[in-house]
Amino acid sequence: MHNATIKSLSEELAARKVSGVELARYFLNRIKVLNDKYNCFITLDEEASLTQARAADGIRAAGGGQPLTGIPLAQKDIFCAKGWLTTCGSRMLSNFVSPYDAHVVERLNGAGAVNLGKTNMDEFAMGSSSETSYYGPVRNPWNVDTVPGGSSGGSAAAVAARLVPGATGTDTGGSIRQPAALSGVCGLKPTYGVVSRYGMIAFASSLDQGGPLARSAEDLALLLNVMAGFDARDSTSLEREREDYARALGAPLKGTKIGLPKEFSAAGAAPGVVKAVEAAIAEYRRLGCETVEVSLPNMKLAVPVYYVLAPAEASSNLARYDGVRYGYRAPDHTDLTDLYEKTRAQGFGDEVKRRILIGTYVLSHGYYDAYYIQAQKVRRLIARDFADAFKRCDVILGATSPTTAFRLGEKMHDPVQMYLNDIYTIPANLAGLPAMSIPCGFDEKGLPVGLQLIGDYFAEARMLGIAHQYQLVTDWHTRAPQGID
């Protein structure tokens, strides 16, 4: 049952071959047995999950139900869920029980999905390896001595280990796609504004975007159909007509133009990654696609631009954690200033402190124009590069990450090397474009390689169709880590 996709589980629920309660209990038992090995989950609430499952079964029994009714899912612990501990992987929020649901959680609950728990993550989504969590690092099911990617590593690892058939994640600079690639699953970052950020704990507000992780492109479409939608509580939410993101899954690929950025090949991906991506490109050509070379000349500036803008926004967003209103409060303080200083010193981890300091610096008097304003100008140039590229192609394709999963602790003391791991994913966030990662092979160490597809604005359905057609003729997305039975 744990190897079944969301689509197949939904069909079994509709046919009454299995109940939502049976599914919830089955996956909860797997989590209890395997979570100590992978550290995917921070919080479980079995009774709350089973209550949702019983309600879903009642809806099905009455002749109702949607595709996700009764489907067990996991929520990244950055999404507020009413009555659930919501920590964002930080000591700062280690005692915070949310009084309300995030918009994404509301929509999934409304569709009858069953929340099995909150997944581990890099603290406040700051990291590329899921090692900065206050609750300890997440381990990659393909090799427990390696990282699963970050910051949505708990969600990606949970899907890879077959602890859940699908999960939510967030993507600020690649934090859905990069862990999807390193963990051998599928992940999608929608166009900025398609999924509401209400109730999603903020890191960098102009970059953050929620999205799904699952085993196949078809499953991603089912999840996005529910997660996407206008929300008046989020000023950046886009008011658009609802669409069916599964509508293009059967569309043939003949004549589809795939753009291959020359800058991707110049960025120095590992040989095993290059080999797998080249094989995927060859497969797309056999499916009738045309390939054209495109250029993203400002891509080389994406990482420095991101690490000016994201910390700047983080330093502003994280100012609310002061020990006064909610969350962790340092004991033994002498006055208000001492309370602020001790709370933030004790409540935040090293990576969060590093980014707050960088962000405060670039926003300070005398440096705002030199760094922040300049970075915003280059961000516009990066978006323009993509606009020019999409005049020549339908989708841009390349590696998701320059390497496969690296060993735990390998890059923790070299922040620059850690930041460069997001070189292929960051540009889409800066431009606000939709992008996704799907498995496309393995390297010489047997670790999964991710293939990234970047589309023009609101091209999610087209991208999902292109990915689905590839998955119909390959089986990379069906492979499970050794020992997962």
CA distance 281 to 259: 10
Beta partners for residue 170, in sequence order = 210
Does 265 qualify as catalytic in the annotation? no
Q: Which of 10, 49, 76, 216 is catalytic?
A: 76
102's tokens: 């995030």
Place of tokens 């091209």: 459
Q: Which of 152, 175, 237, 401 is catalytic?
A: 175
Place of tokens 């501990």: 85
The alpha carbon dihedral of 449, 455, 457, 458 has a sign of negative
CA–CA–CA angle 283, 285, 290 (5° rounding):
150
Rounded to 10°, the helix 6-14/217-227 angle is 70
Q: Where are the beta strands (DSSP E) in 129-244?
A: 166-170, 186-189, 210-214
Classify burial at 235, counting beta carbons within 10 Å of its beta carbon; exposed 0-12, middle 13-18, buried 19 or more.
exposed
Does 151 qualify as catalytic in the annotation? yes
Does 275 qualify as catalytic in the annotation? no
Q: Which of 19, 90, 129, 151 is catalytic?
A: 151
Starting at the edge strand that comes first in sequence, how are the strands of the sheet with 290-294 ordered?
A: 41-43, 114-119, 72-76, 166-170, 210-214, 186-189, 435-442, 448-455, 395-399, 257-261, 290-294
Bond before 175 cis per omega within 30 degrees: no
Residues classed as catalytic: 76, 151, 175
